[in-house]
Structure 1
Amino acid sequence: MNTTLDPAGFELLTFDCYGTLVDWERGIVDAARPVFQARGRSPSDGELLAGFAEHEHVVQAERYRKYREVLALTIERMADDAGFSPTAHECEAFAGSVGSWPPFPDTVEALRKLGSRYRLGVVSNVDRDLFAATQVALEIDFDWVVTAEDAGGYKPAPDHFDTMRSASGIPAKRTLHIAQSLFHDIAPASALGYATVHVDRRSRGSGGGATPPARVRPTATVQDMAGVVELMGLGDTRSVGVRPCHSAWRSGG
């Protein structure tokens, strides 16, 4: 861990969801593999993730589409690279799998501990309905949620962060953004003046994973959400109950 952070300087912690709180690489691989296996193909996890990283952000940058459509086009282009066309049902199933992607084992308890001191928000490249399914698994109600639907676009564009700031009324200097993706989150948040924590969940793995590379220096780096809890001075906090909700859904959209 490295840090120059003062935990007392922040009121709001914002999180990327998929890749940071939720094991999206496991979800992507588990949802994509059957599409390839049905044609006798056996790509490795790394190959599937590299294909996803190559195409997803390109689809997002073309024009605004709902994330279900982004995912359907992403798996279609991954399959095209492999020389076949997936069925419409396979594309829809891949896109709809997001709500079943599992949280990392450390996520739920970490959010409970962090929520005992800070207000919590999510800025996510996903549709509202898909995140709603994920939120059930996270077992916590966030103070503010900004989706791609609310922002009208996808990170690394700044719209998510601008929408969150407007909705919460909390300035960047009092907000800490926490995320796994340097490309989608740490780079744009840093450019906007936010302090950032990189949750480097791939520090023990190999390959680039499901996100494109980016050159940026976060304010601090940890390996998991337990590291975030320790970083914010809550490492010795006992287990706490489910955090009460300040609002049902405040997305700013």
Structure 2
Amino acid sequence: MSEKRWVTFDCFGTLVDWRHGIATGIELVAPGKGRELLDVYNRHEPRVQREHPSMRYGDVLTEALRRTAAEAEIDLLEDDARVLTAGIPFWPVFPEVRQALRELREAGWNLALLTNCDRVIIGETQRRLQVRFDAVVTAEDSGAYKPAHHHFEYFEESLGVTRDRWVHVAQSYFHDMVPAGELDITRVWINRLDVSGAPSIAHAVRPDLSDLAATVAEVHRKRNG
């Protein structure tokens, strides 16, 4: 088993502003509708992922946007349906993220991404993060989308990680906190949207990644005595 200490992250929503990216993409093909249709899109994407666990994320984005447009009675050109995939390399990183990642590296933590996207998309996104990650697990690698357990199990088994040396950090209660809790992985919930949910599901709750290195050190220390 590896003696390294790991912090794993969800990417979109935690490190990268997923809501801004989706809303801006919709706005390009349905002016004035971006924010209005964001929650509609957010209902369709996990359904597509459940129905097609082996579908690449770029195709998930396309199909979820088609369904969103159909529900809203918006006509999309065929090329329009790919607008979200085309825009991902330009989705913004949250302002405190790069510094938080650097501080974790300086404190001796290895960093990994457990992301519901494919290898091409995460490769394009990593250039914006500007901090090196030691491992990446995509839905393409694990064969399923979170909240299924596949990402966590694939990471654990492929790298020989033990749960006493692992903290998972994520924004999504549904996609990340719930499955990490089911697997008894130490976890920090980045509740950026101040949504309702049981805070006790996480070992710490933060509004963003500011001072994350201290939070990770504290939950790791408490969990391991």
Identify whether the pair has TM-score above 0.5, normalized to the shorter chain.
Answer: yes
Asked if 1:95 is matched to 2:89, the reply is: no
Q: CA deviation at 1:233?
A: 5.2
Q: CA deviation at 1:231?
A: 1.3
Letter in 1 for 2:160: G
Contact 1:76 1:85 in 2 (8 A): no
Which of residues 185, 188, 191 in structure 1 aligns to 2:182? 191
For each residue in 1:46-73, what CA deviation from the matched residue of structure 2 results, as whole angstroms up to 9, or x when unmatched? x322112110000000022100110001
SS at match of 1:232: helix
Whole-angstrom CA distance in 2 between matches of 1:214 and 1:151: 27
Find runs of 4+ consecutive structure 1 residues off by over 4 angstroms.
213-216
Aligned residues: 212
Unpaired stretches in structure 2, ≥5 consecutive residues: 219-225
Whole-angstrom CA distance in 2 between matches of 1:91 and 1:143: 33
Asked if 1:32 is matched to 2:9, the reply is: no
Q: Mapping of 1:168-207 within 5 angstroms? A: 168-203=159-194
For each residue in 1:199-228, what CA deviation from the matched residue of structure 2 results, as whole angstroms up to 9, or x when unmatched? 01112xxxx6xxxx8657211101111142
Residue matched to 1:54? 43
For each residue in 1:80-138, what CA deviation from the matched residue of structure 2 results, as whole angstroms up to 9, or x when unmatched? 11112311211112222222111101011110110122011110000101101110111
Task: Among all aligned residue pairs of Structure 1 and Structure 2, give the percentage whose two residues are the same amino acid.
Answer: 34
Residue matched to 1:6? none
Which protein has greater RCO, CA pairs closer than 8 Å, 6+ apart? 1
CA RMSD in angstroms comes to: 1.8
Letter in 2 for 1:118: W
Tell me: CA distance 1:89–1:121, structure 2 relative to 1, closer, same or farther (3 Å): same
Whole-angstrom CA distance in 2 between matches of 1:51 and 1:190: 27
With the length of structure 1 as denominator, give the TM-score of the two structures. Answer: 0.79
SS at match of 1:226: coil
Whole-angstrom CA distance in 2 between matches of 1:22 and 1:160: 19
Q: CA deviation at 1:44?
A: 5.8
Whole-angstrom CA distance in 2 between matches of 1:232 and 1:171: 16
Q: Mapping of 1:15-164 within 5 angstroms? A: 15-37=9-31, 42-43=32-33, 45=35, 47-63=36-52, 64-116=54-106, 117-164=108-155
